[in-house]
C-alpha cells in the first residue's frame, strides 16, 4: 500500500496530496495560518524548502504539542486571576481566551485528522 492508496478517513497531505494512512505518518502543523496535515517526509521537505516560508515548526500532534496544550489549560485560570487583578474583568477574559487557543487547536487537530487514522 503506498501513500496514494485511498484510506477510509481520506486525510490528504497538504504538500503532496497523497493519502495519509496512519497517525505514525501524520504531522499536523500550521501553514499559511491554517492547521494542515503532512506526511512525515513531506513535512521535513517543506521545512527544508526555502520557497515555503510559512510552514510552522511547532508540531501540534506531538508530545510537545500535548504538553503545551495541557500547560495552557492549567495556566488559563491562574493567568486570568492575575489579569483580573491587574486589568479587570475584560483583561481576565482576554487572557483566559488567549490561553485556550492552544488546547482548541490541539483538539481541532485530533477531531479533524487524528481520530480518523489508526
Residues 77 and 68: their CA atoms lie apart, in Å, by 15
In the bound state with Zn ion, the residue whose beta carbon lies nearer, of 19 and 96, is 19
Nearest distance from residue 19's CB to Zn ion, in Å? 9
The distance of closest approach from Cβ of residue 42 to Zn ion in the complex, given in angstroms and rounded to an integer, is 3
Looking at the Cβ atoms of 15 and 114, the one nearer to Zn ion is 15
- 117 is a contact residue toward Zn ion (CB under 5 A): no
| Measured distance CA(101)–CA(53) in Å, rounded | 23
d(CA 62, CA 48): 19
User: From residue 14 to residue 53, what is the string marking binding to Zn ion with x (rule CB under 5 A)?
Assistant: -xx-x--------------------x--x-----------
Q: Which is nearer to Zn ion, 27 or 76 (CB)?
A: 27
Helices (H), the chain: 40-48, 63-87, 89-99, 101-112
Q: How far is CA 23 from the centre of its chain?
A: 13
Enumerate binding residues for Zn ion (CB under 5 A).
Answer: 13, 15-16, 18, 39, 42
Amino acid at each position: 500500500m503506498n501513500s496514494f492508496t485511498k484510506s477510509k478517513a481520506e486525510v490528504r497531505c497538504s504538500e503532496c496530496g497523497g493519502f495519509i494512512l496512519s497517525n505514525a505518518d501524520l504531522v499536523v502543523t500550521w501553514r499559511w495560518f491554517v492547521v494542515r496535515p503532512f506526511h512525515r517526509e513531506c513535512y521535513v521537505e517543506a521545512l527544508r524548502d526555502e520557497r515555503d516560508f510559512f510552514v510552522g515548526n511547532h508540531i501540534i500532534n506531538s508530545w510537545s504539542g500535548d504538553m503545551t496544550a495541557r500547560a495552557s489549560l492549567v495556566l488559563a485560570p491562574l493567568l486570568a486571576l492575575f489579569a483580573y487583578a491587574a486589568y479587570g474583568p475584560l483583561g481576565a477574559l482576554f487572557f483566559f481566551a488567549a490561553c485556550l487557543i492552544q488546547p482548541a487547536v490541539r483538539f481541532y487537530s485530533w477531531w479533524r485528522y487524528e481520530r480518523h487514522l489508526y
